[in-house]
Each structure stands twice: as structure tokens, then as C-alpha cells.
Structure 1
Amino acid sequence: MEALKKLFVEFLQAPTQENFLKVRNAVLATEEFDPYTDAIDGVPKMMEAGELEQALEVMKHALFPNLVLSPGAHLNIAFLLHKLGREKDAAFEHHISQLLQEAIEETGDGTEARPYLVTRTSDEYDYLFAHDLEAKGQALAKSPDGTREHDVLTTKDGGQIWFDVTDIRKVLARRMESDGEASE
């Protein structure tokens, strides 16, 4: 995990596409990575109950490897820090969220020919949130040559935004295979 953290710091220091993709590849290769982790599902209830410090700890604990590249996770951490009066830390987390959003957007243009690369499907909804868009539908599509898989989000205004989820699907297949072997 230390190597992953080092790569992430390198990305923060030099937020290039190359550094972003290095972190992304390291996350995807980590055995513990779960693109659908439920580790933060209890955070909204903690926030409603005013348990902000506890919610912040849960968020921070879930960052590596599962949420480190999630713009939404960093935005939520920024919000919690703001609510706790830690404005400098909140501003830094907000900045990280923006860097990640920009890095995802630099991977493509959201079309079928050049879909955005995401690490989690929640990144797709972070994209919509950042652009004040709302999803009307979602479909899975294969590339014409059958080598890539895409989530296609249709927005309420009728637009379509394409996201490459090939790597996420490979991670899920690897995890299912590993879980199957463990249960034998």
C-alpha cells in the first residue's frame, strides 16, 4: 500500500495524465481493491447524527485503495472537514477532488470513440455532479471489436456520456474467481 500512496503523492505533486494513469493502474492491480466497496455506506447516517469525526475517519480509512481516485470521496471528505472547521484541510481535499475530476476528463471526451476512463462506476456520477447533469438511464455496451466494455449514461437532456469500464469488469471477474476458489 505504501507504493500506491507514494504514486498518489507523485500525482498530487505533478498532476499529469501519466502520473494519474500510474496510480490508476496500481489501484486496479491491488488485490484489496473493490470498485463497489460498501465501506462508506454508513457515513450519511453518521453525518445526520452529527458524528462528523467518526464519518471522517471512516472516509479516510476507506481511501486506500478503494476511493483514492474518487473525486466524490475527496469532495465528501472536504465537506466533513469544512463542517469540522478545518478549512485549510477542506480546501486541500477539494483541490484533490478537482485534480481527479480533471484527470478523468483528460482520458477521453465522453464519446463512444473516446470514452472517459474511470476506476469506479461512482466516478461516472461524480462526473455528472461536477457538470450539473442528471442521469436518465444507464446501459452497458461493448466496443465494435468486443474488446472493451462501456457504461453509457443517458442524461435527462438526451445526451450520452461514455465511460470505459473494461478494467473495472476485469477486477470484478478476478475477485469473483478468487472468491470462488476460496469457497471450494
Structure 2
Amino acid sequence: MTTHAADPAVADLALVYAGTRSLADLARLRDAVRSSPGFDVGLDVVGAVSPAMARGDHAAAVAIVQALMPGAFFSPSAHAALGAAHAALGDDARAGAERRTQVLALESIRSTGDGTRERPWSVLRISDQYDVLRADRRVPREQTLLVVAGRSLDRHVCEDGSEAWFEVGRLVGA
């Protein structure tokens, strides 16, 4: 499990969730992340690190993502970027830890529903939606914010014709 010195309490909650996989522990972790300094529902890690990664400056990529912590904790994109950068720097242990945290973050989103209108996935950030779709090798073609039965939902129609639904009430009210 990744630990970030900026907020060890959040990392501790992630360790608890990793062990239990309970929705109650996930809710506590997510509440702590939302309360963390720098938390932003509009976080764009890919945009922030892409220039450094493109020029091969992996140390800068690590520094960029670390500067976004603890607010970026449990963002699949953040942990993927850290994993890739640490791997390029030859730090296989850290790369592996970040990749495991990325997988745990994705699994946590999937544990909240099945991505249908009836059981949408819940996310911490807008970018988490795209992380799930990317992990599933689905390319969004259209995104629509809808209110269904009093709930704010993002509906993504993908290039393959499939749909993915996300509960975003906490994001649009943020």
C-alpha cells in the first residue's frame, strides 16, 4: 500500500479498506480523502504529468503528483502515474506499491455498483470515471449529466455502444 507522508491517516484508512473491502471502510476512506488538503473533484493528473512524462522527466512527474497529495490520494490516475514514473526510475518496489494502490482504487469504484443506471458506480472525482472506462478499454463517445429519481448521474455512451453510469451528486454539488 502506498503511504504518503502528507497524510498518513488517509493511508492508514486505505490499509484498513484493503484488508476488509467493506463499504463502510470505503466510506470512511473516501470521507477522509474528500477532507484532505488539495482535494479537487476536477483533478486532472493526466494533464498535469503528461508533459514531464513525454520528455522523460520521471522525477518531475513524481514531484508533480506528490505535490497533489494528499488530495489526489486514491485517484487511479495519480497512482498509475506514480507507478509508471517510479518504474522508469528503476524503483520497482515503489512502482509495485503504486500499481497495487491504483488497482485497489479501481476495485473500490467497481464495488459501489455495476455501472448501470440502476446501480451506478460512485466516484470521488470526475477523472475517476475516465479511469474506470480506460481500465475497461472503453472509449467514451458522449457524456450526459442526468437527474434520475432525484440523483445526479453521468451517463457515458462508449464507442462500442455500451453505457457506463456514475453517481455524481457529491461532485456536482461540490
Range of TM-score over shorter length: 0.7 to 0.9
- 1:36-57 deviations in whole A, cap 9, x for unaligned? 1357744211122222112101
Q: Based on CA coordinates, which of the two structures has the bigger radius of gyration?
A: 1
Taking a change above 3 Å as real, the CA distance of residues 28 and 16 of structure 1, as seen in their structure-2 partners, is same
Q: Does 1:98 align with 2:103?
A: yes
Provide the residue aligned with 2:42 in structure 1: 36
Taking a change above 3 Å as real, the CA distance of residues 114 and 42 of structure 1, as seen in their structure-2 partners, is closer
The answer (yes or no) to whether the contact 2:10–2:29 under 8 Å persists in 1 is: yes
The answer (yes or no) to whether the contact 2:36–2:70 under 8 Å persists in 1 is: no
The structure with the greater share of residues assigned to helix is 1
Taking a change above 3 Å as real, the CA distance of residues 40 and 137 of structure 1, as seen in their structure-2 partners, is closer
Q: Does 1:161 align with 2:164?
A: yes
Looking at structure 2, the residues matched to 123 and 21 of structure 1 have their Cα atoms a distance apart, in angstroms, of 16
- 1:46-86 deviations in whole A, cap 9, x for unaligned? 12222211210111221312x21211211111000110011
Provide the residue aligned with 2:75 in structure 1: 70
Percent of residue pairs identical = 29
* TM-score normalised over the length of structure 2: 0.86
Looking at structure 1, the residues matched to 63 and 93 of structure 2 have their Cα atoms a distance apart, in angstroms, of 17
| 5+ residue gaps, structure 2 | 1-6
Q: Which amino acid aligns with 2:116?
A: T
Looking at structure 1, the residues matched to 38 and 48 of structure 2 have their Cα atoms a distance apart, in angstroms, of 20
| 5+ residue gaps, structure 1 | 172-184
Provide the residue aligned with 2:155 in structure 1: 152
Give the CA deviation at 1:11.
2.7
* TM-score normalised over the length of structure 1: 0.82
Q: Which of 46, 57, 66 pairs up with 1:60?
A: 66
Provide the residue aligned with 1:18 in structure 2: 24
Looking at structure 2, the residues matched to 127 and 38 of structure 1 have their Cα atoms a distance apart, in angstroms, of 14
The answer (yes or no) to whether the contact 1:28–1:167 under 8 Å persists in 2 is: no
The answer (yes or no) to whether the contact 2:17–2:26 under 8 Å persists in 1 is: yes
- Report the count of equivalent residues: 168
Looking at structure 2, the residues matched to 40 and 128 of structure 1 have their Cα atoms a distance apart, in angstroms, of 14
Give the CA deviation at 1:89.
1.1
Looking at structure 1, the residues matched to 122 and 43 of structure 2 have their Cα atoms a distance apart, in angstroms, of 19
